[in-house]
């Protein structure tokens, strides 16, 4: 029996951990899963609603760290997570993605000699100004088992000198959640409530500090939206960080005058899935949404200069257009007039069975040295 502490912290973690915990519960003779929530995200709309939608069990432990500077937040997670690990004495700690909680918990474990598995290992944007890139690089250096979503991720790790026996290609666990919830999302009333049930519309998400904390970049994106919204309505669920910077940067009035750009509160998992799965076009700076749109064949424009998920460009529907106004508008036109590339493929192992492969990988490690509790 393997006792596993599964860590969640921020919104993009919940849909990765939910199918893993569910799979562990289906193998009770082999796994005892516990859920630890660091509290990096805490608003009902950023956290609680995801537990409900994804049927993720309530956390066994909540660290309640909340928002702070990167250093203070990372330090608070470390301080509060260490006693939990010492008390629970797990065989494995499982961390996902690239948020501050991911690195903080991995660091605690490596210092205690507790084994860490990193799900979504090996992704690289090669942009070290992104906080997530630092979290990814460092977590992968110290984790014992690196579970990769795509072949390029394994190549990145090997190029960094990580021994191949620490790397396992398992596929994309977010797609497990997506496929499991598509049917339930059809019952969502989100599209009807927004009045777009039978309409063409685009969906926009923005929350990267490099886009929303900088007036010049944000202004270039708004200029593009002024043009795109003349063609079709753009629904914009606004991340709390972005809501704050819109006010701080003085963009509220300008945004209010863009007819057809509709700002709404962040949506839960099922409502958001319902919304973007019906969209003609998605514009985003999120990592996960690049993958989800590829899985569903929805055209996606990534408003960043790079992506750590190149497979969504090579095989999927994603086009990295950056933050230049003309490039965003041209990308949107190509997607809407049908001149964008049409033949797309599902990346290998994005098949809804990644959580089972993650459990197999953990079980295969059983024979290796156990933590010395
Ligand atoms: C974090 C992750 C990012 C991920 C994003 C998804 C890091 C470094 N960043 O960014 O990788 O893509 O989550 O959402 O880990 N806030 C609230 N309520 C909340 C959470 C945040 O109001 O529940 C506000 C606070 O003002 C906070 C700000 O949003 O200061 C930023 O939150 P933070 O967790 O620091 O980073 P995110 O931008 O959410």
Is there an atom of ligand 1 within 6 Å of 243 CB? no
How many angstroms separate the alpha carbon of residue 241 from the centre of ligand 1?
Answer: 6
From atom 26 of ligand 1, which residue's Cα is the shortest distance away?
241
Best residue among 241, 247, 302 to mutate for probing ligand 1's pocket (most ligand atoms within 8 Å of CB) is 241
Q: Which atom of ligand 1 is nearest to the CA of 207?
A: 38
pLDDT at 369: 52
Best residue among 8, 41, 125, 288 to mutate for probing ligand 1's pocket (most ligand atoms within 8 Å of CB) is 41
Is there an atom of ligand 1 within 6 Å of 241 CB? yes
Question: Cα–Cα distance between 248 and 211 in angstroms, integer?
Answer: 14
In order of 10, 162, 234, 298, 301, the CA distances from 171 in angstroms are 21, 19, 32, 20, 23
Stated pTM of the model: 0.96
From atom 27 of ligand 1, which residue's Cα is the shortest distance away?
67
pLDDT at 341: 72
Is there an atom of ligand 1 within 6 Å of 41 CB? yes
Is there an atom of ligand 1 within 6 Å of 305 CB? no
For residues 158-179, give the mean pLDDT: 98
What is the band of 368 on the pLDDT scale with cuts at 50, 70, 90?
A: low
How many angstroms separate the alpha carbon of residue 360 from the centre of ligand 1?
Answer: 32
Q: What is the pLDDT of residues 177-225, one digit of tens each?
A: 999 999 999 999 999 999 999 889 999 999 999 999 999 999 999 999 9
Is there an atom of ligand 1 within 6 Å of 232 CB? no
Is there an atom of ligand 1 within 6 Å of 192 CB? no
How many angstroms separate the alpha carbon of residue 191 from the centre of ligand 1?
Answer: 26
Residue 273's nearest CA partner among 338, 196, 177 is: 177
Residue 62's nearest CA partner among 39, 92, 78, 33 is: 39
Q: What is the pLDDT of residues 338-359, one digit of tens each?
A: 877 777 889 999 999 999 999 9
For residues 319-332, give the mean pLDDT: 98
Per cent of the chain over pLDDT 70 is: 98
Q: What is the pLDDT of residues 62-110, one digit of tens each?
A: 999 999 999 999 999 999 999 999 999 999 999 999 999 999 999 999 9
Residue 110's nearest CA partner among 73, 141, 153 is: 141
Q: What is the pLDDT of residues 222-260, one digit of tens each?
A: 999 999 999 999 999 999 999 999 999 999 999 999 999
Q: Average model confidence (pLDDT) for the chain?
A: 96
pLDDT at 260: 95
In order of 7, 172, 271, the CA distances from 103 in angstroms are 11, 20, 30
Q: Who has greater pLDDT, 190 or 367?
A: 190
Annotated active-site residue in 37, 41, 118, 207: 207
Q: State the DSSP string of 61-114.
A: EE----S--HHHHHHHHHHHHHHHHHHH--SEEEEETTSHHHHHHHHHHHHHT-
pLDDT at 372: 56
Check if 62 is active-site.
no
Is there an atom of ligand 1 within 6 Å of 43 CB? yes
How many angstroms separate the alpha carbon of residue 41 from the centre of ligand 1?
Answer: 6
């Amino acid at each position: 029996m393997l006792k596993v502490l599964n860590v969640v912290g921020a919104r993009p973690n919940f849909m990765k951990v939910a199918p893993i915990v569910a799979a562990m519960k289906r193998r009770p003779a082999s796994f005892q899963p516990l859920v630890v929530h660091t509290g990096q995200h805490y608003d009902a709309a950023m956290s609680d609603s995801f537990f409900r939608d994804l049927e993720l069990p309530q956390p066994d432990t909540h660290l309640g760290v909340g928002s702070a500077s990167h250093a203070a937040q990372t330090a608070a997670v470390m301080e509060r997570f260490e006693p939990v690990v010492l008390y629970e004495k797990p065989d494995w700690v499982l961390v996902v993605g690239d948020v501050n909680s991911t690195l903080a918990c991995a660091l605690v474990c490596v210092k205690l000699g507790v084994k860490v598995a990193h799900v979504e290992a090996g992704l690289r944007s090669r942009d070290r100004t992104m906080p997530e890139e630092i979290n990814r690089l460092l977590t992968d250096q110290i984790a014992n088992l690196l579970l990769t979503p795509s072949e390029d991720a394994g190549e990145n790790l090997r190029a960094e000198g990580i021994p191949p026996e620490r790397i396992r290609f398992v596929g994309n666990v977010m797609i497990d959640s997506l496929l499991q919830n598509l049917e339930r999302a059809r019952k969502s009333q989100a599209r009807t409530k927004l009045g777009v049930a039978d309409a063409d519309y685009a969906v926009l998400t923005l929350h990267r500090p490099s886009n929303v904390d900088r007036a010049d970049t944000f202004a270039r994106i708004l200029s593009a939206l002024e043009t795109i919204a003349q063609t079709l309505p753009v629904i914009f669920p606004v991340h709390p960080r972005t809501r704050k910077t819109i006010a701080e940067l003085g963009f509220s009035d300008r945004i209010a005058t863009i007819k057809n750009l509709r700002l709404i509160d962040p949506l839960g998992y099922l409502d958001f899935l319902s919304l973007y799965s019906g969209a003609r076009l998605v514009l985003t700076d999120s990592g996960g949404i690049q993958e989800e749109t590829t899985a569903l064949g929805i055209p996606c424009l990534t408003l960043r200069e790079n992506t750590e998920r190149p497979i969504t460009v090579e095989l999927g529907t994603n086009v990295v257009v950056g933050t230049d106004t003309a490039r965003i508008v041209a990308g949107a036109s190509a997607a809407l007039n049908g001149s964008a590339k049409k033949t797309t493929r599902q990346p290998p192992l994005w098949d809804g069975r990644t959580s089972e492969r993650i459990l197999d990988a953990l079980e295969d490690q059983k024979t290796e040295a156990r933590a010395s509790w």
